[in-house]
């Protein structure tokens, strides 16, 4: 009896039917539109998102002869986003997405009541001590979004009964329970994570400026929320007793799907963003490098959260806006963009003839958070072609993850001798080899890499049901191919990586000067 796993990303939703041996029986997906506003906002229509979730689930379930065979539903999503809902669980406004900047403390301070929401140094230190992360200057945390709704959209705040992260919103639409847990609530920044069964901390709640009754109740992460709602069961053709499991965020789900809860390796995911994840057994924060350990769905563990900022989104930008664009210069749009990319870069030597791509199109995160830095190409010449630029984009994202990987290893206090590569970017064999060469580590490309988080969700659900051990989860994660580093490229890529880091540091002041007062 399989599990239906739902993985809600920033730009798409994926659903998969996963058997206990890790086999995918069926998949479905749909695209999600983000609304960007001139004042730095990023929103999504939460009702449309829910309908996309249902459609993706329906598509995946179509593979089953009998949908009543589904044992349960597990959910994960992008996080640091907020959906405000009323007492009936319906959205009172759009979802505020992680890239929204309107809740930054500096911006809130100019709104009535916003001055007291900018933490002082003592409060910042206590936030780190209790939770692990203080309110971010960029406003890219869930607390910032809730605060912005209170001050910037008071009519929405007044109608809101509960604030939910996207994965908890989906779980609520499935089960009827508007709740959260130690994993999904992390970027609300209000739990005491010094304990593995965290509670909202009264001091952080007081400093937040929010009404405590608008926060979801905390429940265990390893106990089902109950059966699916009758109307959802009828819509999807599921049995009335189908269980809904507590949700987790996509970093945690990917960590399980890459078996990053055991061993010394790390998982690297390239979706819209890039992530490096591995396990530790301690709570820790490294403010300087923007690293923190977050609660894990595996008892007694934490996951290192290392968000590298934009990942595959940089490649999407390059292909959609610069190469296969539909604009005033004409219509160059194509369907098979990624196959064209692989063919194009196959003629370009590693190193892209010295062209560097800086991938921070939406600002940098780890290891140096800065919402004002931006992307670009360096060292173009009259000999530079689009093929060079295409390879440079893949290398630039990999250089950024090399920078992150080194900080993660130092944070975890151990060598990380190998990588499990997953996410949509891991569909590219060329990118897998580039990662191996730039990291100078073996890179294991996971099978069904786009659905690694979905597989992790489902296997974790079977574990919570007592039907799989952690060792059995690891054994059920397939590897499509292992890419070995080419040692002859080490010196070349070492030299380029040094200049990549130098380019960030030297150009940081330039970007900040160019983007003063900018909401881009």
The span from the CA of 178 to the CA of 362, in Å, is: 31
For position 372, what pLDDT does the model report?
87
Residue of 328, 322, 333 whose CA lies nearest to 357: 322
The span from the CA of 299 to the CA of 7, in Å, is: 22
- Kindly indicate the confidence band of residue 517, based on its pLDDT and cuts at 50, 70 and 90: low
Within a domain: residue 252? no
Residue where a domain terminates, one of 211, 246, 281: 246
Same domain, 295 and 240: no
Same domain, 182 and 264: no
For position 248, what pLDDT does the model report?
97
For position 115, what pLDDT does the model report?
85
Which range among 63-72, 109-118, 381-390 shows the weakest confidence by mean pLDDT? 109-118
Same domain, 45 and 134: yes
Same domain, 162 and 277: no
Within a domain: residue 459? no
pLDDT at position 353 over 90: yes
Same domain, 445 and 365: yes
Within a domain: residue 209? yes
Within a domain: residue 133? yes
Same domain, 428 and 499: yes
Q: Running DSSP on this structure, what letter comes out for residue 160? A: -
- Kindly indicate the confidence band of residue 309, based on its pLDDT and cuts at 50, 70 and 90: confident
Same domain, 11 and 62: yes
Residue where a domain terminates, one of 204, 224, 246: 246
What is the average per-residue pLDDT within 465-489? 95
pLDDT, mean over the chain = 94
Within a domain: residue 469? no
What is the average per-residue pLDDT within 456-485? 95
The span from the CA of 166 to the CA of 169, in Å, is: 5
Cα angle for residues 89, 149, 211 (degrees, 5° grid): 75
- Kindly indicate the confidence band of residue 335, based on its pLDDT and cuts at 50, 70 and 90: low
CATH of residue 431: 3.30.420.40
Number of structural domains found in the chain: 2
Within a domain: residue 147? yes
Within a domain: residue 407? yes
The span from the CA of 483 to the CA of 495, in Å, is: 22
**How far from the centroid of its chain's Cα atoms is residue 286's Cα?**
19
> pLDDT tens digits, residue range 36-51?
999 989 999 999 999 9
Residue where a domain terminates, one of 195, 211, 246: 246
Per DSSP, the residues of 368-403 read: S-BTT---EEES--TT--HHHHHHHHHHHHHHHHHH
The span from the CA of 222 to the CA of 74, in Å, is: 11
Contacts of 67 (CB under 8 A, 6+ apart): 61, 236, 237, 238, 239
For position 327, what pLDDT does the model report?
85
For position 329, what pLDDT does the model report?
85
> Domain of 503?
258-450+483-515
pLDDT at position 520 over 60: no
Residue whose pair of structure tokens reads 């963009």 in the numeric block: 337
Same domain, 216 and 353: no
Same domain, 320 and 208: no
Q: Running DSSP on this structure, what letter comes out for residue 45? A: -
Same domain, 237 and 298: no
What is the average per-residue pLDDT within 21-28? 96
- Looking from the CA of 395 toward its CB, the CA atoms found within 13 Å total 29
Same domain, 307 and 402: yes
Q: pTM for the whole thing?
A: 0.90
> pLDDT tens digits, residue range 130-154?
999 999 888 889 999 999 999 999 9
Within a domain: residue 364? yes
Which range among 71-85, 154-168, 311-325, 441-455 shows the weakest confidence by mean pLDDT? 311-325
Q: What does the block give as tokens for 79?
A: 């996080």
Same domain, 170 and 270: no
The span from the CA of 9 to the CA of 120, in Å, is: 34
Cα angle for residues 510, 514, 518 (degrees, 5° grid): 135
């Amino acid at each position: 009896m399989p599990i239906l796993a739902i993985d809600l990303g920033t730009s798409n939703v994926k659903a998969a039917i996963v058997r206990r041996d890790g086999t995918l029986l069926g998949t479905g997906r749909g695209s999600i539109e983000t609304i960007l506003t001139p004042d730095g906002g990023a929103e999504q229509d939460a009702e449309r998102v829910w309908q996309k979730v249902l459609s993706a689930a329906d598509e995946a379930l179509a593979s089953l002869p009998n949908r009543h065979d589904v044992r349960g539903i597990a959910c994960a999503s992008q996080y640091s986003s907020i959906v405000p809902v009323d007492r009936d669980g319906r959205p009172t406004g759009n979802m505020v997405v992680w890239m929204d900047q309107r809740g930054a403390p500096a911006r809130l301070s100019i709104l009535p009541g916003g001055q007291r929401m900018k933490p002082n140094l003592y409060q910042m230190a206590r936030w780190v001590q209790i939770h692990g992360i203080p309110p971010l200057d960029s406003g890219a945390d869930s607390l910032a979004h809730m605060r912005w709704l209170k001050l910037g959209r008071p009519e929405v705040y007044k109608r809101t009964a509960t604030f939910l992260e996207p994965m908890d919103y989906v779980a609520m639409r499935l089960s009827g329970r508007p709740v959260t847990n130690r994993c999904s609530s992390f970027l609300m920044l209000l739990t005491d994570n010094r304990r593995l069964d965290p509670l909202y901390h009264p001091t952080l709640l007081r400093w937040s400026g929010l009404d405590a009754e608008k926060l979801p109740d905390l429940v265990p992460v390893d106990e089902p929320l109950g059966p699916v709602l009758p109307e959802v069961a009828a819509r999807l053709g599921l049995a009335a007793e189908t269980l809904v499991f507590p949700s987790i965020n996509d970093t945690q789900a990917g960590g399980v799907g890459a078996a990053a809860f055991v061993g010394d390796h790390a998982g690297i995911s390239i979706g819209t963003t890039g992530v490096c994840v591995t396990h530790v057994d301690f709570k820790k924060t490294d403010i300087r490098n923007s690293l923190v350990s977050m609660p894990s769905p595996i008892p007694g563990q934490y996951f290192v959260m290392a968000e590298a900022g934009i990942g595959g989104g940089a490649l999407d930008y390059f292909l959609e806006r610069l190469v296969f664009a539909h604009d005033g210069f004409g219509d160059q749009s194509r369907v098979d963009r990624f196959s064209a990319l692989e063919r194009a870069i196959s003629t370009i030597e590693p190193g892209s003839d010295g062209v560097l791509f800086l991938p921070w199109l939406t600002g940098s995160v780890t290891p140096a958070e800065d919402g004002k830095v931006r992307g670009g190409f360096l060292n173009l010449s009259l000999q530079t072609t689009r093929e060079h630029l295409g390879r440079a984009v893949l290398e630039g994202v990999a250089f950024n993850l090399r920078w992150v990987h080194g900080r993660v290893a130092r944070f975890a206090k151990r060598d990380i001798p190998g990588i499990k590569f997953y996410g949509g970017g891991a569909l590219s064999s060329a990118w897998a080899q580039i990662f191996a060469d730039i990291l100078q580590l073996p890179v294991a490309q996971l099978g069904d890499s786009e659905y690694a988080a979905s597989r992790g969700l489902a296997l974790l659900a079977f574990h919570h049901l007592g039907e799989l051990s952690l060792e059995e989860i690891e054994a059920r994660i397939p590897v499509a191919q292992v890419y070995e580093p080419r040692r002859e490229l080490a010196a070349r890529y070492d030299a380029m990586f040094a200049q990549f880091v130098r380019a960030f540091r030297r150009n940081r002041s330039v970007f900040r000067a160019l983007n003063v007062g900018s909401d881009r």
